[in-house]
């Protein structure tokens, strides 16, 4: 008789990103669903990887990450926001942002603790909380602009709240938080013994002349927050799965206790390559907003005559669209139909909610070459 297995995540299936990318592959659809580019990283960065692969940098690096990379990150924040971050006690290199998010939750959340998330929220948050024995409290972002309802947050927070998770620029809604938003958050959580986990993987993709508001640079939140970042998003190398966490020293100590028994460390030659590239090519991240804003504008212009209603996109490389004039299908069925019958794969929003609203919204990814976007637009315009 086979042994019974009691699942620790009984309500979790395969992530919607995996489902839609596989469906796109199976049906030969243009993949505007999962968020990854269809173009390569800068050749200078690839050259540095090749260099270190042949230069003896293939064994374990320090558990907390290569010192040169951590220093390059610290120097970057000093130059961009005049923020002092200690590379030895406040920066940890991780095997992707997802690992950093998991380690953050496991380090701070215990049985019976509550964690507040804003729906629609990235799908790795709640499973991490459940595995830690915590309870996820969902607050829906207000429609149609997907903003935080501060009164709802104030009503939800209590002495059991150990963590508030925020995400800006926001996946999947493509909205951004402002400095005033962070001030509001700081005021609300001030009386409580809770921390902030800030998912900032799209930090360099903010549009229309606006700047990214980070907890790392916030005068109050910096001392009680863990901030998570992604080299994959910044350097068009999502398959490398290299990220990092910035947190005050006392939180970093607890974070590293989990990290060392999770992945222990992260691929060595790529860390060395990134250390060089962060220092030598600041234009790569400083110019990223302009790079993707041009793609956003190109894609929006290409499908401006379609029957989709395009929502604002103020950050990330995503574009939401309302298909209410096209179909009454629920979003998962519509996404399947788009992929299987029309040949363009998209992401539905309902999997990012605890209780989905009665809307007809899908997400496109425009991190693609312009010919790819133009080909997809021809199909979209015929729907």
| Domain containing residue 251 | 59-281
pLDDT score recorded for residue 1: 66
pLDDT score recorded for residue 268: 98
Tell me the three state secondary structure of residue 371. Answer: helix
Classify residue 6: in a domain, yes or no. Answer: no
What are phi and psi for residue 237, nearest 5 degrees? -135, 60
* Domain identity same for 177 and 303: no
Question: How far, in Å, CA of 74 to CA of 243, rounded?
Answer: 14
* CATH value at residue 119: 3.40.640.10
Question: How far, in Å, CA of 237 to CA of 226, rounded?
Answer: 23
Q: Is residue 329 pLDDT above 80, yes or no?
A: yes
Beta strands in 135-278 (DSSP E): 135-140, 161-167, 195-199, 225-230, 243-246
Question: How far, in Å, CA of 87 to CA of 58, rounded?
Answer: 22
* CATH value at residue 304: 3.90.1150.10
* Domain identity same for 106 and 30: no
* Domain identity same for 218 and 313: no
pTM: 0.96
Question: How far, in Å, CA of 172 to CA of 356, rounded?
Answer: 14
Binned at pLDDT 50, 70 and 90, residue 11 comes out as: confident
pLDDT score recorded for residue 79: 94
Average pLDDT over every residue of 265-288? 97
Classify residue 4: in a domain, yes or no. Answer: no
* Domain identity same for 274 and 305: no
- Which residues are bridge partners to 94 per DSSP? 243
Binned at pLDDT 50, 70 and 90, residue 349 comes out as: very high
* Domain identity same for 123 and 66: yes
Tell me the three state secondary structure of residue 49. Answer: helix
CB 307 within 8 A of CB 382: no
Domain end, chosen from 257, 281, 305, is at: 281
Write down the residue that tokens 């971050």 correspond to. Answer: 85
* Domain identity same for 126 and 144: yes
pLDDT score recorded for residue 303: 97
Cα angle, residue 323 at apex, residues 212 and 297 outer, rounded to 5°: 40
Percent over 70 (pLDDT), the chain: 100
Classify residue 130: in a domain, yes or no. Answer: yes
Average pLDDT over every residue of 6-31? 92
DSSP summary character for residue 197: E
* Cα 132 → chain centroid: 21
pLDDT (tens digit, 9 = 90+) per residue, 47-58? 999 999 999 999
* Domain identity same for 213 and 362: no
pLDDT score recorded for residue 13: 86
Q: What is the CA radius of gyration of the chain?
A: 21
Tell me the three state secondary structure of residue 137. Answer: strand
Q: What is the DSSP string of 159-211?
A: TTEEEEEEESS-TTT-----HHHHHHHHHHHTTSS-EEEEE-TTTT-B-TT--
Classify residue 10: in a domain, yes or no. Answer: no
* Domain identity same for 317 and 338: yes
Question: How far, in Å, CA of 177 to CA of 121, rounded?
Answer: 14
Question: How far, in Å, CA of 64 to CA of 90, rounded?
Answer: 10
Classify residue 275: in a domain, yes or no. Answer: yes
CB 331 within 8 A of CB 360: yes
Average pLDDT over every residue of 32-42? 95
pLDDT score recorded for residue 298: 98
Classify residue 236: in a domain, yes or no. Answer: yes
Classify residue 184: in a domain, yes or no. Answer: yes
Mean of pLDDT over the chain: 97
Binned at pLDDT 50, 70 and 90, residue 2 comes out as: confident
Domain end, chosen from 260, 281, 302, is at: 281
Q: Is residue 135 pLDDT above 90, yes or no?
A: yes
Average pLDDT over every residue of 311-316? 98
Percent over 90 (pLDDT), the chain: 96
pLDDT score recorded for residue 4: 81
Binned at pLDDT 50, 70 and 90, residue 103 comes out as: very high
pLDDT (tens digit, 9 = 90+) per residue, 201-260? 999 999 999 999 999 999 999 999 999 999 999 999 999 999 999 999 999 999 999 999
Q: What is the DSSP string of 75-88?
A: HHHHHHH-----TT
pLDDT score recorded for residue 12: 86
Dihedral-angle region of residue 226 (phi above 0 means left; psi in -120 to 50 means alpha; beta otherwise):
beta
pLDDT score recorded for residue 186: 98
CB 125 within 8 A of CB 101: yes
pLDDT (tens digit, 9 = 90+) per residue, 154-201? 999 999 999 999 999 999 999 999 999 999 999 999 999 999 999 999
If one counts the domains in the chain, the total is 2
Beta strands in the chain (DSSP E): 30-31, 91-94, 114-119, 135-140, 161-167, 195-199, 225-230, 243-246, 309-310, 318-322, 344-345, 347-348, 361-365
CB 175 within 8 A of CB 169: yes
CB 365 within 8 A of CB 35: yes
* Domain identity same for 205 and 339: no
Domain end, chosen from 253, 281, 309, is at: 281
H or E element, residue 144: none
CA-closest candidate to residue 168, choices 155, 152, 192, 184: 184
* Domain identity same for 233 and 296: no
Average pLDDT over every residue of 87-101? 98
Classify residue 49: in a domain, yes or no. Answer: no
Question: How far, in Å, CA of 349 to CA of 358, rounded?
Answer: 11
* Domain identity same for 220 and 131: yes
* Domain identity same for 270 and 299: no
């Amino acid at each position: 008789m086979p042994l019974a297995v009691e699942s620790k995540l009984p309500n979790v299936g395969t992530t919607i990103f995996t489902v839609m990318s596989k469906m796109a592959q199976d049906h030969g659809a243009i993949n505007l669903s999962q968020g990854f580019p269809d173009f390569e990283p800068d050749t200078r960065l690839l050259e540095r990887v090749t260099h270190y692969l042949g230069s003896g940098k293939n064994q374990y690096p320090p558990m907390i990450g290569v010192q040169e990379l951590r220093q390059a990150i610290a120097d970057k924040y000093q130059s961009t926001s005049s923020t002092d971050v200690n590379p030895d006690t406040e920066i940890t290199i991780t095997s992707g942002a997802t690992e950093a998010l998991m380690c953050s939750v496991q380090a701070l959340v215990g049985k019976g603790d509550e964690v507040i998330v804003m729906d629609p929220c990235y799908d790795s948050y709640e499973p991490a909380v459940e595995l830690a024995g915590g309870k996820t409290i969902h607050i829906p972002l207000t429609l149609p602009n997907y903003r935080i309802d501060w009164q709802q947050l104030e009503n939800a927070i209590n002495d059991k709240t150990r963590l508030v998770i925020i995400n800006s620029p926001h996946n999947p809604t493509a909205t951004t938080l402002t400095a005033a938003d962070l001030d509001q958050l700081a005021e609300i959580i001030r009386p409580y013994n809770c921390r902030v986990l800030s998912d900032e993987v799209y930090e360099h993709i903010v549009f229309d002349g606006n700047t990214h508001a980070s907890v790392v640079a916030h005068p109050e939140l910096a001392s009680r927050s863990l901030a998570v970042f992604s080299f994959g998003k910044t350097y068009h190398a999502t398959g490398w799965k290299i990220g990092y966490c910035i947190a005050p020293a006392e939180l970093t100590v607890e974070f590293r206790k989990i990290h060392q028994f999770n992945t222990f460390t992260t691929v060595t030659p790529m860390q060395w390559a990134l250390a060089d590239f962060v220092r030598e090519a600041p234009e790569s991240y400083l110019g990223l907003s302009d790079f993707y804003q041009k793609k956003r504008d190109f894609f929006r212009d290409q499908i401006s005559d379609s029957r989709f209603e395009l929502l604002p996109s103020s950050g990330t490389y995503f574009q939401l669209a309302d298909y209410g004039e096209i179909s009454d299908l629920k979003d998962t069925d519509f996404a399947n139909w788009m992929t299987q019958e029309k040949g363009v794969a998209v992401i539905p929003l309902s999997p990012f909610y605890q209780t989905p609203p009665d809307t007809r919204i899908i997400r496109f990814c425009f991190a693609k070459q312009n010919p790819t976007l133009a080909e997809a637009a021809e199909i979209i315009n015929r729907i």
